[in-house]
C-alpha cells in the first residue's frame, strides 16, 4: 500500500484534526484544525480551496452525492456551505440563537439536521430551502446522531436520552440510557426472519462502556451489551455484513460480535491488534476490509477472513500516536490523522485500469503511475509517470496512451525509456481507446475516431471519424489489430475497416445490438457479446458465426491466447470465473467452439494477458498476479505425483486443446486401453490421420491402422473427413461429407454396408439408379425379416432387373412368399411351383401350413420332394390315399405311425403291422401279430430282437393262455415281471426253467427264493446250486453233501467250487472230512481232493495230490489222464511262481515220452519212436499195467530202427518167467529167436550241444555230464533242447526244437503237450532263449 501524500501544516501542529472525505466520489478531503479554517484538498494532496470560520470548527459533513460540504463553528449560528462543483462558499442562517453542536446530512435526500447545545433541532431541506426548527427535542446538548435509509433521524444528548424522529422532526420513539450516549448508528439486527422493514435497530455507545441496541419494532425490550474490563472503553464501532458489529477498544482490542439473538453476547472474533492503545477503526464495504489504528501503525483485515492480517502500515515517525481513520466510499484511499496534527493518505485500492497488446501490457500502479511490462519476453518493467489520474489506458506495439474525459496523452517506447509524444483532444468523453503500430482509435459518444499516433501520413489517411450519423446507429465497442479496425453498433452491425486500403471491406449484421468485440491479433476471428448477453465467434474471412456454448450472461471481457501453438484458444471472464474455450477450425463436424473448463478468479483480479495457459491479472493493489488455468493444469503438474483419475482429467483437457504431445505423454503414464481409445477418437475428430495411425498402432488395432493407411493420402478434405466420421460411427455426418466430396458414391456404399436401406435407396436414386434393384432386394429381405410384408412385396417387385437371372429368381421367390403372406395364395403358389428352387417350395409350404392352407402346402411340399412334410400335411387333411402313395419315400416314423393307426382303424391289419414296423413301434406290431394276425412266431422273433418289455408281456400273456408255462415264464422275465414269473414257475413246477431264464441278471434275492423252493422240494443239488449263487455257502455245502449217489460226482464238484468261493476254514475242513470218508466211512476219489486244493489255491498240497492221482492213473493204465493232471498242475505252479517238484517234472517227462511214441510210430518215424520207448522201458516200473506190451513194442521198434543191442536187452527181459507167458503169440517166437541168436550191433545216437554249457551229449540224454543240469526237452521229439533251434508252443509255453516241431505240425494239428489247436504259422523260432533257460533253472 502506497502513501499518496501527507498534509502537515505548521498551524495544526500539536492538535488533533477533524476531516471528512467527499461522499461517493472521494475526490476531495476537507480538513479542519485549530486555526479556525477549513482546507480542502484533492485526492492527490493539492489544496483546492480554503476558507476561514468565525471560531473553531465544531462539526462538518458532506451531502450524499458529495456536492456540498456543511460546516458549523464556535461563536456562530450560521451554517457554512461549500459547493464542490463550482468551488464556492455560501452561508445559511440557522435561525437558532444558541450554539450549534451537531450537523449531519441525510443518506437519501437533501436534508440537513443541525443540533444545538440546548437540545434544539433544525431540519433544512436544501432543495426547497425549507427550515423546520424543533425546539426542546432534548433538554441538553445534542452530541451525536444518525439518519436511517428510511429518513428517520436518531439523536443522542447529554440528557441521557435517545430520540428517533421522522424527517419532519416529529418524535416517533424515545428511550433513556444510563450514561451519555455517543456514536449513534442505524442498522438491521440479524434475525431468523427477513421481514423487518429497513434499518429498524438503533445502536448507541453508552458511557463508552456498553453497547445499547434499541429495536424500533420492539421498543420495550432493548438489549445492552457489556464487555470485559480489560478491553478498556469503547473507542469506536461499525456495523457490517449480515448484522455483525466490529468494536474497537481503547486498550488495543479489536472485537467482532453478532446481533443474532442466538449468538448475542458471544465474541465471534477477538484480536489484541495494538499493544498500548487503539484510537479508531474503519470499514470499507466496497473493499470488504476493516482497519484499526493505534501504536503508530494501521492494521488491515479482510472481512471474509479476519484472522489473517491483510496489511500493516507502520508510521514510526508519528511518536505521539494516531488519531482517526477514514476510507473513501470507493475504498481507494485511506486517511489517518495523527495526534501531532498531520494527516496521511494511503492508496488502498487502485482503479483497475490496464491494457495489453501481444505479450506487452500496461497497467496502473499508482494514481499517477503506469507500468509497462512484457513478462513473456522477460523485459524489465518500465514505469511511466503521468500528469493526470487516468480513466483509460491503451497500449500498442510501440506506444502507450493514457487519458481522462476527452483528452489522451501518448507516450512512445524509445531506447532511452519512455518519451511523451503529444496529447490529443477529442469531441467527447473517451470511453475506450485502442492502438496499433501507427494508429490510435478512440471511442466517444457512439463514434470512433481513427488517427495516426505519429509520423507523416497522407492527409486523407491521417484521421477518419466513424459515426452512424442522423442516429442510424451508435458504436458500442471497437478494436484495432495490425491491419484492421473493427467496431460494433447498437443495431447489430459489425464493420471491418482495412487500414492499408483505407476502406470498409466487410460487414456482418447481427439480429440484436453488439456490446463488445474482441478480435484475435490477426483479425481473422472475432468474439462478440450482444445485448442478450450471448457470446459468438465470427470469422470475417468467410462470414461464419458460431455461438459460444455455455456462455455466462455475466461475462465482462475476453482474451485471445498469445502463445503461437494455441491460436484458437481464448478465455471469457466475469468477476469470479474465467472460462477457457477452444475454436477448432478443422473437425469432421466442421468448425466449432467448445468449452474446455472454468477457473475460479481470485477476488478483484482483472485478466490482462493470456499466454500458454497462464493468465496475468491486474489486482487492486496495482500489481499483477498469475493465475494458472485449470484447463491447462497438465502444463504445471508433476505427473509422477498425480493419481490416475487426475491424469485422466488432464488428458481430457489436453485433447480438448489439441495439445497432442502432452496428451501422448499422459497416455503413456495412464497406459489404459480407454485412454488410448480416447486420444484415437480425438485424432479422428480433428482429422489428424498420421497421429491417429501412431495411436492405433500403439493400441495394436491392426484393422484401424490399415484403414487409416489406406485413406491418409486422400487430398479431398470432405472425402477424408467422411471416412473418419464413418470410423467414428457418426454416419449422418459421414454421409453429408461424402456427398459434398468428389466421390459422393461413397455415401451409398456406406449406407449399403450398414444396411440402412431407406437412405441407400434415396442415395441410389440420385447417384446410381442401376443399383436400385439390388438395394431393393436387400431392403425387402430385411423388411420380410421384421414382418413388414406389404413393403417387402413392393421392394421385391421393384428389384426385378430382367437381365440378372440369379437376382431375379431371388426376387421372384420373395414375391411368391410375400404374395402368400398377403393372402394372394393362388399367385404365390403358382410362382412357387414355376420357380426352380426346392427351398422356396419348402418355405412357401411352411407359410401355407402356418396359415392352415393344408392342401396347397402339401402340394408344394410334394413338388419340392419334401415327402415327409407332404405326408404330414396330407395326414392333417385326412387324405390317406395320398399318404399311402408317398409312404415308400417317407422316412419319418411319426408319419408311418399315424398311417398305421388309420389303417388299423380301417381293419387293414397287415398294412397296419407293416406301417407300425416302419415306424419302429414294436409294441403295436407285436399286438397286431398276436391279436389280429395270429402270428406268434413273428411276435416272438420281434420281442427277442427288440427286447421290448411291453411286447414281452403281451407274448407272455399269449403263451399263458396256451398253457405254455415255460415260454410264458421266459417272456415274463424278459418284460421284467420277475415276481409273476416266479409265482408261475412255483405253481406249475417250472422253477428250473425260471432259474435258467433269469440267468446272470438275477439278484441274490431271486436266487435265494429259488433255493428255498428247491429246499422245500428236497432237490438238494439244485437247492445247493442256488444257495451258492446267492452267497449262502454253508447251506449250499450242506445240500451238496446230502445229494444221492447218482448225483455224487457233480455234487462233489459243486461242493469244492463252493468251498473255494467261501474261503471258510470250517467249511473246508468239513469237505475234507467228507472226501476222506470220515463222515460216512467211504473215501472219495483223490481227484476231488486235488480239485479242492486247487479251488483253495493251496498249490503245494494240490501238487502232492496231483502226483498221487497221476500215479493211480498210471497204475490203472490211464496214461493220458495222468499226463493231463500233471501238466495242468505243472502250469498252475509255474503261474503261481512255485518251484516244481522234481518227481512231478520227471513223471510228466516219462508220460510225455510215452505219448510221443504213438505219434512217431504213427508217422512212421521208428527211430524216434524207438528212442522214446527205450526211455519209457528204462522206467517200466511206472507202467505196471502194461509192462509186457510196452517191452514188446520196444523190442519191435528197436529192431526196426536198427538198434539191435537195445532190442536184444528188452527181449531178454521179456524172457523172464513173470512176463514170458504174457507175450503176444504173434511176437513170441520172433523174440525168442532174438534172444537165442543175439545181434549186438547198435546205431550210434547223434550228439548235440548242451544249451547251458555247450557240452556235446546224445540228443535224447536229459542230464548234462558237463554242467550237471537237467536239460529242457522238446515236446515234439523228447530230445534235449538246442539253443540254435529253439521255439515254444504259444499256448502252454513248453519248448520244442523248431525244425522238429514244424515237421510234426505238418501232420498233426494240436500241440502234443497241451492238446491245443496249433498250426505251423503260429510257431516262431526264438533267437534268444536265455529267459527260458533261467525259467528251467527255477523249475529245478
User: What was the pLDDT predicted at 434?
Assistant: 95
Would you state the cell numbers that stand for residue 110, as one nine-digit string?
437533501
Record the cell numbers describing residue 848, joined without a space.
401355407
Residue 1184: DSSP 8-state: G
Sort strands 592-600 and 614-618 into parallel, antiparallel or unpaired.
Answer: unpaired
3-state secondary structure at position 1300: helix
Crossing angle between the packed helical segments 689-699 and 702-711, to the nearest 10 degrees: 160
Q: Which of 253, 238, 251 is nearest to 290 (CA)?
A: 238
Confidence of residue 904 (pLDDT cuts 50, 70, 90): low
Cα angle 1144, 1149, 1153 (rounded to 5 degrees) comes to 150
Average pLDDT of the segment spanning 273-292: 92
Q: What are the tens digits of pLDDT across the range 245-261?
A: 999 999 999 999 998 88
What would the mean pLDDT of 315-324 be, rounded to a whole number? 88
The DSSP code for 407 is E
User: Could you tell me if 1084 and 1100 are in contact, meaning their C-beta atoms sit under 8 angstroms apart?
Assistant: no
What does the alpha-carbon distance between residue 562 and residue 1283 come to, in Å, rounded to a whole number? Answer: 110
Q: What are phi and psi of 709, to 5 degrees?
A: -60, -35
Query: Any bridge partners for residue 535, and if so which?
Result: 529
pLDDT band at 1219 (very low <50, low <70, confident <90, very high): confident
Does the structure show a pLDDT above 70 at 787? yes
SS3 of 989-1007: CCHHHHHHHHHHHCCHHHH
Mean pLDDT of the chain: 83
**Over the stretch 1287-1296, which tens digit does the pLDDT of each residue have?**
999 998 899 9
pTM of the model: 0.57
- Given this model, what pLDDT does residue 1003 score? 56
Task: Report how far residue 1108's alpha carbon sits from residue 1122's, in angstroms, rounded to the nearest whole number.
Answer: 9
The DSSP code for 1339 is H
Nearest to residue 107, comparing CAs of 67, 68, 74, 64?
A: 64
Q: Name the 3-class secondary structure at 249.
A: strand
Q: Kindly list the distances between the CA atom of residue 1220 and the CA atoms of 161, 667, 1180, 1231, in Å, as whole numbers in the listed order.
A: 185, 124, 16, 10
Cα 1128 from Cα 1140, distance rounded (Å): 12
Work out the number of other CB atoms within 10 angstroms of the CB of residue 1.
Answer: 16
- Percentage of the chain beyond pLDDT 90 is 35
- Dump the DSSP string for 769-792: GGGHHHHHHHHHHHHHHHT-HHHH
**915 compared with 779, residue with greater pLDDT:** 779
Residue 493: what pLDDT? 93
> Within its chain, how far is the Cα of 276 from the centroid?
69
Residues 6+ apart with CB under 8 A from 944: none
pLDDT score, position 390:
92
Predicted pLDDT at 1090: 61
What would the mean pLDDT of 458-470 be, rounded to a whole number?
A: 79
Q: How confident is the model at residue 172 (pLDDT cuts 50, 70, 90)?
A: very high
Which residues share a beta bridge with 560? Answer: 570
97 phi and psi, to 5 degrees? -100, -10
Q: Are 455 and 440 in contact (CB under 8 A)?
A: no
Residue 362: which pLDDT band, with cuts at 50, 70 and 90?
A: very high
Contact (Cβ atoms closer than 8 angstroms) between residue 1094 and residue 1064: no
Q: What is the pLDDT of residues 1226-1274, one digit of tens each?
A: 888 888 888 888 888 888 888 999 998 999 999 999 899 988 888 999 9
Tell me the CA end-to-end span of the chain in Å, nearest whole number. Answer: 129
Residue 1152 has pLDDT above 80, yes or no: yes
Could you tell me which residues come within 8 angstroms of residue 989 by beta carbon, excluding any fewer than 6 positions away?
none
Query: Which residue in this structure is represented by grid cell 500500500?
Result: 1
Rg (alpha carbons) of the chain, rounded to whole number: 67
Dmax (CA) for the chain in angstroms is 210
pLDDT of residue 879: 60
Model pLDDT for residues 1049-1105, shown as the tens digit of each residue: 565 666 666 665 666 666 665 555 565 555 665 555 545 556 556 656 666 666 666
CB-CB contact of 1150 with 1181 (8 Å) = no
Task: Give me the helices (H) in 1117-1216, please.
Answer: 1119-1135, 1142-1163, 1166-1178, 1187-1201, 1204-1214
Q: Which range has highest mean pLDDT (20-24, 584-588, 1002-1006, 1136-1140)?
A: 20-24
User: What DSSP assignment string belongs to 677-721?
Assistant: HHHHHHHHHTT-HHHHHHHHHHHT-HHHHHHHHHHTT---HHHHH
User: Measured between alpha carbons, how far is 1125 from 1112 in angstroms, rounded to an integer?
Assistant: 11
What local confidence, expressed as pLDDT, does residue 1199 receive?
Answer: 86
pLDDT band at 153 (very low <50, low <70, confident <90, very high): very high
Residue 37 pLDDT > 70, yes or no?
Answer: yes
How many other CB atoms sit within 10 Å of the CB of residue 867?
A: 19
| Continuous H helices in 20-86 | none
Residue 1045's contacts (CB-CB under 8 Å, 6 or more residues apart) are none
Q: How confident is the model at residue 1117 (pLDDT cuts 50, 70, 90)?
A: confident
Phi/psi at 808 (5° precision):
-65, -35
Is the pLDDT at 961 greater than 60? The verdict is no
CA distance 766 to 854: 46
Neighbours of 1254 (CB within 10 A): 11
Query: Rounded distance, CA 773 to CA 759, Å?
Result: 14
Integer angstrom CA distances of residue 6 from 337, 368, 387, 712, 1020 = 10, 16, 19, 74, 148
SS3 labels along 1308-1330? CCECCCCCCECCHHHCCEECCCH
| Highest mean pLDDT: which range of 134-138, 803-807, 1116-1120 | 134-138
Per-residue cell: 1309: 494239428
The answer, yes or no, to whether residue 963 has pLDDT greater than 60, is: no
The more confident residue out of 208 and 1068 is 208
pLDDT of residue 1063: 64
Q: Which of 191-205, 235-249, 706-720, 924-938 has the lowest mean pLDDT?
A: 924-938
Q: Quick check: 70 and 112 in contact, CB under 8 A?
A: yes
Evaluate if residue 849 carries a pLDDT over 80.
no
pLDDT, mean of residues 1306-1327: 90
Q: Residue 1005 pLDDT > 60, yes or no?
A: no
Residue 174, Cβ neighbours under 10 Å: how many?
14
Lowest mean pLDDT, pick from 2-6, 140-144, 502-506: 2-6
Beta carbons within 10 angstroms of residue 1226's beta carbon? 9
What average pLDDT does range 283-287 have in this prediction? Answer: 90
Q: How crowded is residue 845: how many other Cβ atoms within 10 Å of its Cβ?
A: 28
Q: What count of residues does the chain have?
A: 1340
Per-residue pLDDT, 167: 92
Region 407-428 average pLDDT? 89
Across 110-114, 651-655, 769-773, which has the greatest mean pLDDT? Answer: 110-114
Question: At residue 635, does pLDDT exceed 60?
Answer: yes
pLDDT for residue 459 is more than 80 = no
Q: At residue 973, does pLDDT exceed 80?
A: no
Distance of CA 596 to the CA centre of its chain: 27
Tally the C-alpha atoms within 13 A of residue 906's C-alpha that lie toward its C-beta: 13
Amino acid at each position: 500500500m502506497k502513501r499518496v501524500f501527507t498534509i502537515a501544516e505548521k498551524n495544526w501542529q500539536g492538535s488533533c484534526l477533524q476531516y471528512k472525505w467527499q461522499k461517493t466520489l472521494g475526490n476531495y478531503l476537507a480538513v479542519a484544525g485549530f486555526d479556525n479554517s477549513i482546507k480542502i484538498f484533492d485526492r492527490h494532496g493539492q489544496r483546492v480551496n480554503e476558507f476561514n470560520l468565525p471560531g473553531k470548527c465544531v462539526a462538518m459533513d458532506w451531502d450524499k452525492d458529495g456536492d456540498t460540504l456543511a460546516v458549523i463553528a464556535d461563536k456562530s449560528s450560521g451554517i457554512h456551505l461549500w459547493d464542490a462543483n463550482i468551488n464556492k462558499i455560501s452561508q445559511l442562517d440557522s435561525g437558532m440563537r444558541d450554539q450549534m453542536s451537531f450537523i449531519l446530512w441525510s443518506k437519501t435526500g437533501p436534508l440537513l439536521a443541525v443540533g444545538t447545545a440546548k437540545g434544539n433541532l433544525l431540519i433544512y431541506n436544501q432543495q426547497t430551502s425549507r427550515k423546520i426548527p424543533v425546539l426542546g427535542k432534548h433538554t441538553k446538548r445534542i452530541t451525536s446522531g444518525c439518519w436511517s435509509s428510511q429518513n428517520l433521524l436518531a439523536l443522542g444528548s447529554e440528557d441521557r436520552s435517545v430520540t428517533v424522529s421522522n424527517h419532519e422532526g416529529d418524535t416517533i420513539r424515545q428511550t433513556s440510557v444510563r450514561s451519555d450516549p455517543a456514536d449513534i448508528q442505524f442498522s438491521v439486527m440479524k434475525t431468523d426472519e427477513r421481514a423487518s422493514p429497513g434499518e429498524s435497530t438503533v445502536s448507541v455507545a453508552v458511557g463508552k462502556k456498553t453497547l445499547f441496541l434499541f429495536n424500533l419494532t420492539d421498543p420495550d425490550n432493548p438489549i445492552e451489551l457489556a464487555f470485559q474490563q480489560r478491553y478498556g472503553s469503547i473507542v469506536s464501532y461499525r456495523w457490517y455484513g449480515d448484522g455483525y458489529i466490529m468494536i474497537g477498544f481503547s486498550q488495543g482490542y479489536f472485537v467482532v460480535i453478532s446481533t443474532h439473538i442466538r449468538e448475542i453476547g458471544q465474541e465471534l472474533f477477538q484480536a489484541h491488534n495494538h499493544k498500548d492503545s487503539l484510537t479508531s477503526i474503519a470499514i470499507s464495504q466496497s473493499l470488504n476490509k476493516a482497519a484499526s489504528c493505534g501504536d503508530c501503525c494501521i492494521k488491515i483485515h479482510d472481512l471474509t477472513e479476519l484472522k489473517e492480517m491483510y496489511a500493516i502500515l507502520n508510521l514510526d515517525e508519528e511518536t505521539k500516536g494516531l488519531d482517526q481513520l477514514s476510507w473513501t466510499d470507493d475504498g481507494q484511499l485511506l486517511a489517518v490523522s495523527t495526534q501531532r496534527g498531520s494527516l496521511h493518505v494511503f492508496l488502498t485500492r487502485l482503479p483497475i485500469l490496464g491494457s495489453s497488446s501481444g505479450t506487452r501490457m500496461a497497467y496502473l500502479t499508482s494514481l499517477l503511475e503506469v507500468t509497462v511490462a512484457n513478462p513473456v519476453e522477460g523485459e524489465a518493467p518500465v514505469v511511466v509517470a503521468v500528469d493526470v489520474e487516468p480513466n483509460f489506458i491503451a497500449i500498442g506495439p510501440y506506444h502507450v496512451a493514457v487519458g481522462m474525459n476527452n483528452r489522451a496523452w501518448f507516450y512512445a517506447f524509445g531506447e532511452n525509456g519512455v518519451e511523451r509524444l503529444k496529447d490529443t483532444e477529442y469531441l467527447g468523453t473517451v470511453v475506450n481507446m485502442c492502438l496499433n503500430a501507427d494508429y490510435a482509435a478512440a471511442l466517444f459518444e457512439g463514434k470512433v475516431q481513427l488517427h495516426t499516433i505519429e509520423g507523416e501520413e497522407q492527409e486523407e489517411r491521417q484521421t477518419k471519424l466513424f459515426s452512424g450519423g442522423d442516429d442510424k446507429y451508435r458504436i458500442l465497442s471497437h478494436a484495432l489489430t495490425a491491419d484492421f479496425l473493427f467496431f460494433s453498433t447498437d443495431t447489430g452491425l459489425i464493420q471491418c475497416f482495412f487500414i492499408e486500403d483505407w476502406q470498409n471491406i466487410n460487414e456482418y449484421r447481427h439480429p440484436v445490438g453488439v456490446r463488445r468485440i474482441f478480435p484475435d491479433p490477426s483479425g481473422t476471428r472475432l468474439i462478440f457479446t450482444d445485448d442478450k448477453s450471448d457470446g459468438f465467434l465470427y470469422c470475417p474471412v468467410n462470414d461464419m458465426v458460431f455461438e459460444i456454448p455455455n456462455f455466462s450472461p455475466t461475462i465482462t471481457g475476453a482474451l485471445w491466447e498469445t502463445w503461437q501453438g494455441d491460436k484458437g484458444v481464448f478465455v471469457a471472464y466475469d468477476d469470479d470465473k474465467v472460462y477457457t474455450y477452444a475454436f477448432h477450425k478443422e473437425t469432421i463436424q466442421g468448425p466449432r467452439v467448445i468449452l474446455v473448463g472454468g477457473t475460479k478468479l481470485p477476488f478483484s483480479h482483472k485478466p490482462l494477458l493470456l499466454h500458454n495457459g497462464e493468465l496475468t491479472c491486474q489486482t487492486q493493489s496495482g500489481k499483477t498476479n498469475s493465475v494458472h488455468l485449470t484447463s491447462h493444469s497438465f502444463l504445471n503438474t508433476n505427473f509422477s505425483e498425480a493419481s490416475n483419475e487426475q491424469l485422466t482429467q488432464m488428458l481430457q483437457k489436453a485433447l480438448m486443446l489439441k495439445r497432442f504431445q502432452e496428451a501422448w505423454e499422459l497416455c503413456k503414464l495412464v497406459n489404459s486401453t480407454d485412454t488410448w481409445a480416447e486420444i484415437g477418437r480425438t485424432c479422428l475428430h480433428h482429422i489428424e490421420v498420421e497421429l491417429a495411425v501412431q495411436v492405433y498402432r500403439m493400441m495394436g488395432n491392426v484393422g484401424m491402422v490399415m484403414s487409416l493407411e489406406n485413406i491418409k493420402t486422400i487430398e479431398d478434405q470432405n472425402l477424408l473427413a467422411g471416412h473418419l466420421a464413418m470410423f467414428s460411427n457418426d454416419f449422418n455426418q459421414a454421409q453429408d461429407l461424402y456427398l459434398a466430396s468428389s466421390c459422393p458414391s461413397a455415401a451409398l456404399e456406406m449406407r449399403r454396408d450398414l444396411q440402412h436401406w431407406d437412405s441407400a435407396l434415396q442415395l441410389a436414386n440420385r447417384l446410381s439408379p442401376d443399383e436400385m434393384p439390388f438395394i431393393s432386394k436387400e431392403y425387402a429381405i430385411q423388411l420380410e425379416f421384421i414382418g413388414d410384408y406389404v413393403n417387402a412385396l413392393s421392394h421385391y417387385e421393384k428389384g426385378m432387373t430382367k437381365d440378372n437371372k440369379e437376382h431375379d429368381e431371388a426376387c421372384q421367390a420373395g414375391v411368391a412368399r410375400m404374395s402368400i403372406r398377403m393372402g394372394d395364395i393362388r399367385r404365390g403358389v403358382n410362382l412357387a411351383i414355376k420357380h426352380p428352387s426346392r427351398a422356396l417350395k419348402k418355405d412357401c409350404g411352411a407359410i401355407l401350413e402356418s396359415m392352415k392352407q393344408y392342401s396347397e402346402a402339401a402340394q408344394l411340399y410334394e413338388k419340392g420332394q419334401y415327402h415327409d412334410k407332404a405326408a404330414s400335411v396330407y395326414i392333417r387333411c385326412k387324405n390317406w390315399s395320398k399318404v399311402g402313395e408317398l409312404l415308400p419315400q417317407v422316412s419319418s416314423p411319426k408319419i408311418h405311425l399315424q398311417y398305421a393307426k388309420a389303417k388299423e382303424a380301417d381293419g387293414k391289419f397287415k398294412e397296419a403291422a407293416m406301417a407300425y414296423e416302419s415306424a419302429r413301434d414294436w409294441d403295436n406290431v407285436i399286438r397286431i401279430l398276436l391279436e389280429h394276425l395270429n402270428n406268434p412266431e413273428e411276435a416272438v422273433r420281434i420281442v427277442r430282437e427288440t427286447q421290448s418289455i411291453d411286447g414281452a408281456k403281451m407274448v407272455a400273456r399269449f403263451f399263458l393262455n396256451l398253457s405254455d408255462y415255460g415260454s410264458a415264464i421266459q417272456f415274463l422275465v424278459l418284460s421284467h415281471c420277475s415276481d409273476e414269473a416266479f409265482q408261475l414257475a412255483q405253481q406249475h413246477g417250472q422253477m428250473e426253467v425260471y432259474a435258467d431264464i433269469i440267468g446272470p441278471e438275477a439278484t441274490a434275492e431271486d436266487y435265494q427264493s429259488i433255493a428255498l423252493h428247491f429246499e422245500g422240494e428236497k432237490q438238494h443239488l439244485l437247492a445247493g446250486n442256488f444257495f451258492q449263487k446267492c452267497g449262502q455257502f454253508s447251506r449250499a455245502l450242506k445240500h451238496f453233501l446230502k445229494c444221492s449217489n447218482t448225483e455224487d460226482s457233480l455234487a462233489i464238484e459243486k461242493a469244492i467250487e463252493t468251498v473255494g468261493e467261501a474261503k471258510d476254514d470250517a467249511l473246508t475242513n468239513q469237505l475234507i472230512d467228507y472226501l476222506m470218508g470220515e463222515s460216512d466211512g467211504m473215501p472219495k476219489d483223490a481227484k476231488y481232493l486235488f480239485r479242492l486244493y486247487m479251488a483253495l489255491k493251496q498249490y503245494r498240497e494240490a501238487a502232492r495230490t496231483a502226483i498221487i492221482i497221476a500215479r493211480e492213473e498210471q497204475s490203472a493204465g490211464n496214461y493220458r489222464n495222468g499226463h493231463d493232471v500233471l501238466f495242468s498242475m505243472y502250469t498252475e505252479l509255474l503261474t503261481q511262481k512255485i518251484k516244481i517238484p522234481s518227481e512231478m517234472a520227471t513223471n510228466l517227462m516219462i508220460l510225455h515220452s510215452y505219448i510221443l511214441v504213438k505219434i512217431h510210430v504213427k508217422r512212421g518215424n521208428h527211430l524216434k519212436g524207438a528212442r522214446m520207448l527205450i526211455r519209457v522201458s528204462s522206467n517200466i516200473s511206472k507202467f505196471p499195467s502194461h509192462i509186457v506190451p510196452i517191452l514188446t513194442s520196444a523190442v519191435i521198434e528197436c529192431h526196426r530202427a536198427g538198434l539191435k543191442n537195445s532190442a536184444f536187452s528188452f527181449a531178454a527181459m521179456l524172457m523172464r518167467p513173470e512176463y514170458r507167458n504174457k507175450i503176444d503169440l504173434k511176437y513170441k517166437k520172433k523174440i525168442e529167436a532174438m534172444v537165442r541168436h543175439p545181434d549186438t550191433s547198435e546205431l550210434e545216437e547223434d550228439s548235440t550241444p548242451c544249451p547251458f554249457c555247450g557240452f556235446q551229449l546224445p540228443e535224447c540224454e536229459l542230464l548234462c555230464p558237463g554242467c550237471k543240469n537237467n536239460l529242457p526237452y522238446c515236446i515234439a521229439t523228447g530230445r534235449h533242447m538246442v539253443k540254435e533251434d529253439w521255439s515254444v508252443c504259444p499256448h502252454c509255453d513248453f519248448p520244442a526244437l523248431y525244425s522238429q516241431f514244424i515237421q510234426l505240425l505238418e501232420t498233426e494239428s494240436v500241440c502234443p503237450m497241451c492238446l491245443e489247436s496249433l498250426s505251423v504259422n503260429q510257431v516262431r523260432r526264438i533267437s534268444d532263449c536265455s529267459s527260458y533257460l533261467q525259467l528251467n533253472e527255477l523249475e529245478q
